[in-house]
Chain A
């Protein structure tokens, strides 16, 4: 038994923020951003929270799958920017879509979150524990972004993507996940710091901090490595893959990965130009676009691959 994707959905905020808009608040310009990242614009939440975007994406995925929320047994949501410490965003989505028969919980794996959520849900489905699951990647990084840091604030956007998966005969073929906590300091965002009446400290919170060079090198090395691993371990050749759906962090990373895999750039779809890096949401948003544009046919083999804070990385090979 494996897990088949039976529906996808996504949601991005309406407010478009262009590079020109950013140039008005920090010392940057369109040419610099475009040549180093491939990003032309991103969506920024005005009053949409993480759970709102996640619930919208989930409703669309359920509609695409043609099933009722009551059929869901499991909701796993990946986020680094939940609206509350608790309840979890997954529980908020459960309430919003009325998935009363599901168990819901969040996982934290930053930009690899969707691959981790899919792999985790797949383990439950493959074991026969549950039959139908909703997996979501949702992030509102704009509230974790230091809008005075021109090195990072130009990179991120807000959004959510979701997929409904169901136990079936075809679907996920193989998956690999990895993490390296020892290198975690190159990409961080501090949560509320310790502080209480006894130590006399006031809790503070931090913003996204990134050693861009180290993250770039990590991604360009690790992504091809885990894609090769997921293919080799399942006896699948590179040429059998229709699309490599990569985490949208930077156009140049996608380009470098394609080059290292010796694959044409046409097999690496991108939407970073329009949405920037939406962390755990990039892969399911891109997957939803491919699905809705009719670019995926049953039987197509694709690889989803993510990488990010943790450090974490993951790749999932699946038959559509």
Chain B
């Protein structure tokens, strides 16, 4: 899952995929603001066919947070 996530994040946030790890923080490490995160969430929703409600966003601070969240939603690794 991490490889695919890196690809999506790199594309959405225009950052280098190699700089992304599980502990990467969207806001602190990648400089993403709230609108960047909405776009990222939409790309993830499309990719994994899940719904990510707005209120869940505040808990998704790092790449690892998102991976755990998606696994919790039944997305296969």
Contacts and interface: CB of A to CB of B under 8 A. Distances in A.
B23 interface: no
Interface in B24-71: 33-35, 38-39, 41-42, 54, 57
Identify whether the interface residues of A are mostly helix, strand, loop, or mixed: helix
Contacts of A250: 35
Contacts of A36: 33-35
Contacts of A217: 38, 41-42
A221 B51 CA distance: 13
Interface residues of B, number: 9
B27 to A, nearest CB: 14
B33 A216 contact: no
Nearest to B41: A217
A213 B54 contact: yes
Interface string A271-304: 0000000000000000000000000000000000
Contact of A256 (B33, B34, B39): B39
Contacts, number: 22
B42 A221 contact: yes
A320 to B, nearest CB: 32
A220 B33 CA distance: 16
A68 interface: no
Contacts of A14: none
B36 to A, nearest CB: 9
A230 B17 CA distance: 35
Contacts of A214: 54
Nearest to B12: A259
B52 to A, nearest CB: 10
Given A216-B38, A220-B39, A35 B54 contact: no
A252 interface: yes
Interface in A211-257: 211, 213-214, 216-217, 220-221, 250, 252, 256
Interface in A32-52: 35-36
Nearest to B54: A213
12 contacts: A36-B33, A36-B34, A211-B54, A213-B38, A213-B57, A214-B54, A217-B38, A217-B41, A217-B42, A220-B39, A250-B35, A252-B35
Given A213-B57, A217-B42, 19 more contacts: A35-B33, A36-B33, A36-B35, A211-B54, A213-B34, A213-B38, A213-B54, A214-B54, A216-B35, A216-B38, A217-B38, A217-B41, A220-B38, A220-B39, A220-B42, A221-B42, A250-B35, A252-B35, A256-B39
Q: Which 4 A-B pairs have the closest CB atoms?
A: A213-B54, A252-B35, A216-B38, A256-B39
